[in-house]
């Protein structure tokens, strides 16, 4: 629609080519010139500032999730929410109460030894001095092993979990649509059936928790089971993988920051937060206005979608000051919104933080230096900051 703010600048915000290279110069201009900008081609508002993204996230009555969270879903309607992310209160509150116990901090803390033994075994396979693609060697297997184990998927099926989660994330792989749909159907059948088996043979895993869960006195329907399981499997894989791969590339590109961590390992937790801010593994999610409103002086009409660009908000100088564009492993405070904000705040945040911390600790203990030694290739997704390849060299202590 002519006359709307930022139409020229916002034209490229979901272009794959933007995310395959460096999107930050465009976001800096959007934040400065049109923080709420209209994308004419797909028909949505691009929201790029920290204050406005958090405002949208904080007000689910005005900005709902149930009309889709991805630009590809504009105009689509669902008989029931395909993921918990697609629900609003009160349904969302009920769903969240069901899955939250499996991810609370005490449960996640108890996973430390599992995560550490998996991470140690993977780090042991890295050969000092050689060019190593950390995507297949470390970033893909660690979250996959951990989430599959938490769910209760047997080891022989972990390879299939990988293909399933690849097929579901938009832009992650360029497989034909039919193959992706077939994999989605296979994943749904597999997980729903596995849950039913747990009703007869309970174990201590998330599959059993969901098998036994009830909403208003009734067991979960197949659609609800699929919703929880697919989301946990996919969310537990794709995001943490990219935190690890893109985070290690960032450290390799800022060797003084890696050396700071080597000198002072107590900085590892704040380094994980900074790598979350820096890499924003989830780049953006969408909401839809439920009524006429305004955002930063821009009129938004009922029914219009808004794309919240976490990746841009996480470099906003109004929030992070003049050093927003510098990687600082000691940054305090660090109010990044890589895990979102408000009622949908990432359920797996504690688990992702644990994986990030353990990987860094294991690498710092073994390697004195890391550097980029070959190709670094990003996917063109505007949803997940995917890494196809990240060739690094680790030098022994
Ligand atoms: C670095 C890793 C991760 C990042 C950056 C990340 C990011 C996010 C973001 C941005 C959201 C949406 C929040 C919002 O709309 O406000 C989200 C939601 C969610 N995440 Fe994560 N996530 C990560 C890892 C995980 C893991 C390991 C799991 C589970 C095993 C997980 C499960 C979920 C679930 C279930 C939701 C939906 C929560 C709801 O709708 O209430 N995530 N995550």
- pLDDT tens-digit map of 24-57: 999 999 999 999 999 999 999 999 999 999 999 9
pLDDT at 170: 67
- Work out whether strand 305-309 and strand 44-47 pair parallel, antiparallel, or are unpaired: parallel
pLDDT of 172 above 80: no
Long-range CB contact pairs, 263-267, < 8 A, 24+: 265/361, 265/364, 267/329, 267/330
What the block records as the tokens of 241 is: 């993988």
CA–centroid distance, 21 to ligand 1, in Å, is 24
Determine the residue of 63, 339, 343 to mutate for testing ligand 1's pocket, defined as the one with the most ligand atoms within 8 A of the Cβ atom. Answer: 339
pLDDT > 70: percent of the chain:
99
Q: Is 236 in the pocket of ligand 1 (CB under 6 A)?
A: yes
129-147 burial: b if 16+ Cβ within 10 Å, else e: eeebbbbebbbbbbbbbbb
Domains delineated in the chain? 7-396 (1.10.630.10)
* Least confident window among 50-59, 63-72, 90-99: 90-99
Name the closest-CA residue to atom 13, ligand 1.
340
pTM: 0.95
CA–CA separation, 28 vs 35, rounded Å?
9
pLDDT of 237 above 90: no
Name the closest-CA residue to atom 27, ligand 1.
236
pLDDT of 2 above 60: no
For residues 171 and 385, the answer to whether their CB atoms sit within 8 Å is no
Q: Which atom of ligand 1 is nearest to the CA of 57?
A: 16
pLDDT of 173 above 90: no
Position 273 confidence tier, pLDDT thresholds 50, 70, 90: very high
CA–centroid distance, 374 to ligand 1, in Å, is 31
Q: Is 82 in the pocket of ligand 1 (CB under 6 A)?
A: no
Instruction: Give the chain's mean pLDDT.
Output: 94
CA–centroid distance, 344 to ligand 1, in Å, is 8
- Comparing CA positions, the residue from 115, 113, 377, 336 lying closest to residue 245 is 377
Q: Which atom of ligand 1 is nearest to the CA of 237?
A: 27
């Amino acid at each position: 629609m002519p006359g709307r703010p930022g139409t020229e600048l916002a034209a490229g915000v979901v272009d794959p080519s933007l995310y395959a290279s460096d999107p930050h110069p465009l976001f800096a201009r959007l934040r400065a010139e049109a923080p709420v900008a209209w994308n004419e081609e797909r028909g949505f508002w691009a929201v790029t500032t920290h204050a406005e993204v958090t405002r949208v996230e904080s007000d689910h009555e005005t900005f709902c999730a149930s009309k889709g969270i991805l630009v590809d879903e504009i105009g689509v309607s669902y008989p029931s929410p395909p993921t918990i992310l697609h629900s609003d209160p009160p349904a969302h509150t009920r769903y969240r109460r069901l899955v939250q116990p499996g991810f609370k901090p005490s449960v996640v803390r108890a996973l430390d030894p599992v995560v550490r033994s998996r991470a140690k075994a993977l780090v042991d396979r890295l050969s000092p001095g050689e060019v190593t693609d950390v995507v297949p060697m470390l970033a893909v297997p660690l979250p996959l092993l951990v989430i599959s184990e938490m769910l209760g998927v047997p080891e022989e099926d972990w390879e299939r979990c990988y293909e399933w989660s690849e097929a579901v994330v938009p832009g992650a792989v360029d497989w034909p649509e039919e193959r992706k749909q077939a994999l989605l159907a296979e994943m749904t059948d597999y997980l729903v059936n596995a849950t039913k088996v747990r009703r007869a043979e309970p174990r201590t895993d998330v599959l059993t928790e969901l098998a036994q869960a009830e909403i208003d006195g009734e067991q979960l329907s197949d659609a609800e089971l699929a919703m929880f399981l697919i989301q946990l499997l996919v969310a537990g894989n794709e995001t943490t993988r990219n935190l690890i791969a893109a985070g290690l590339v960032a450290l390799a590109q800022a060797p003084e920051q890696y050396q700071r961590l080597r000198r002072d390992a107590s900085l590892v937790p704040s380094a994980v937060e900074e790598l979350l801010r820096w890499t924003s593994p989830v780049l953006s999610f969408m909401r839809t206005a439920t009524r006429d409103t305004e955002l930063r002086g821009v009129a938004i009409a009922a029914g219009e979608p808004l794309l919240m660009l976490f990746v841009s908000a996480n470099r906003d100088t109004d929030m992070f000051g003049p050093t927003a564009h510098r990687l600082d492993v000691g940054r305090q405070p660090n109010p990044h919104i890589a895990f979102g904000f408000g009622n949908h705040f990432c359920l797996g945040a504690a688990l992702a933080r644990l994986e990030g911390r353990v990987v860094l600790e294991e690498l710092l203990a073994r390697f004195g230096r890391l550097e980029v030694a070959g190709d670094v290739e990003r996917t063109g997704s505007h949803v997940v900051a995917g890494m196809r390849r990240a060739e690094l060299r680790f030098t022994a202590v």
